[in-house]
Amino acid sequence: MAPDPLPHPFVLRASGPLRGDIRVPGDKSISHRALMLGALAVGRTRVEGLLEGEDVMRTAAALSAMGAAITRTGPERFDIDGVGVGGLLQPEGALDMGNSGTSTRLLMGLVAAHDLVATFTGDASLSRRPMARVATPLKLMGADIALAPGDRLPLTVRGLAPALPIRYRLPVASAQVKSAVLLAGLNAAGTTTVIETVPTRDHSERMLAAFGAAVRIEELADGSRAIAVDGPAELRPQTIPVPGDPSSAAFPLVAALIVPGSRVTIRNVGLNPTRDGLVRVLEAMGARIARLNPRRVGGEPVADLAVEASALAAVEVAPEIAPSMIDEFPALFVACALAQGRSRLSGLEELRVKESDRLAVMAEGLRAAGARVEERADGLDIEGTGGAPLPGGARIDPRLDHRIAMSFALLSLACRAPLVIADRRPIATSFPDFLDLMQALGAELQPAEDG
């Protein structure tokens, strides 16, 4: 997978309403987990609708390097011949995680409970992200972990098999940390328990149960949730249909809301209650979103969303809702910049340690496009235009962050002069078809000048 050496700057603009019917690609979080649990099952797991984005392909490559046989049998269809819990093999070289935090943190959990040593490397963005949050509990489980200064990549994990079971309260609301500990717990000698004060995405728990692991979830007296898994576990192979990614759907959804006259249907959107915060917040802002054909796909709630351009009102988002839309804030900030009134978004410190510092980068870019934004330590205040277009005309560097690139591509649709997105490459990590789908809806894509 040779990365494209050229950034391919582009502009996206709308000369009329967006119209059409599209399907979003498979959920990134679920795709990573399907590959990992398939690799740990005994026998052949089939995955349909897998996201073929770069991040997920990093997970596939790492699992292949550790002995799982992963075969692409058609578009978005993969077979995984698993090696069994405890059966991963010593990889020959370092595991290159590219831009993918989820690959890194979840695979650290797998390696921590296997008798092998693995070095994890990544791109400049991933190499700035904090890894102590995962290393701390995995060390308690017996792994030996050497991190680069600042507790970052590159790092080396020497696993212990079987791992030591722990009971661990998450100090940050993070599904990645929760999942890393639960995955290590599959090969621990006894029961591993993770306690979360605020609910985070629960795909790992759901899928572990589907693969036959003994998973128990208990509400504690203080309102937190304890998730326990018994090790050593034996996983039975599954057929997994992956629902569409609500975090990808967020971009055409907000685009349809902010381009006047638009009417768009987005099919196959996962609406797990730990992921649907953006839809709920947009509805509270006055967005016209109909949830059609509600159904279950692979044990996850899914619906088609019919969206119409809407006059949006400013909003205040309660910090408790943040984990259920943690990756959607950049798209929400764009909606707020066009809403009526001043939006206040708080409790968002975690956005500073995503693929970029999303509070700083979004504040800077929104201002460059002409929006009035105040950056605080834990959030943004955004003064909306009430639907009037912003001046635009700025050049935006997405800083290796797919969601920054896509958010400013959206904002460009509501600017008098389009925004130049200086690098399109990051989009391929999670949503390779994004620009094709936006064009299918009627947006115009043009290459822009380099430099």
Which residue ranges make up the site for ligand S3P (CB under 6 A)?
29, 102, 174-176, 179, 201, 326-327, 350
Least distance between ligand S3P and beta carbon 306 (Å): 26
Q: How far apart are CA 37 and CA 59, in angstroms?
A: 12
Burial class (CB in 10 A: 0-12, 13-18, 19+), 300: buried
- What backbone torsions phi and psi does residue 377 show, to the nearest 5 degrees? -60, -35
Q: How, if at all, do strands 372-376 and 379-383 pair?
A: antiparallel
Quick one: 248 or 262, whose CB is closer to ligand S3P?
248
Amino acid at 272: N
Q: What is the DSSP string of 155-178?
A: EEEE--SSBPP-EEE-SS--HHHH
Q: How far is the CB of 329 from ligand S3P (least distance, A)?
A: 10
Maximal CA-CA distance, the chain: 61
Instruction: Single out the catalytic residue among 96, 202, 245, 327.
Output: 327
Nearest to 22 by CA among 451, 445, 436, 447: 436
Residue whose CB is less far from ligand S3P, 27 or 397: 27
- In which residue are the tokens 């995995």 written? 138
CB closer to ligand S3P out of 103 and 187: 103
Nearer to ligand S3P, 189 or 226 (CB): 226
450 is catalytic: no
For residue 379, give the 3-state DSSP assignment.
strand
H-only helix segments in 95-200: 101-112, 132-140, 175-185
* Residue 322 C-beta: closest distance to ligand S3P, Å: 9
Q: Report in angstroms how near the CB of residue 451 gets to ligand S3P at its nearest.
A: 31
Shorter beta-carbon distance to ligand S3P: residue 18 or 326 = 326
Q: Which residues are catalytic?
A: 327
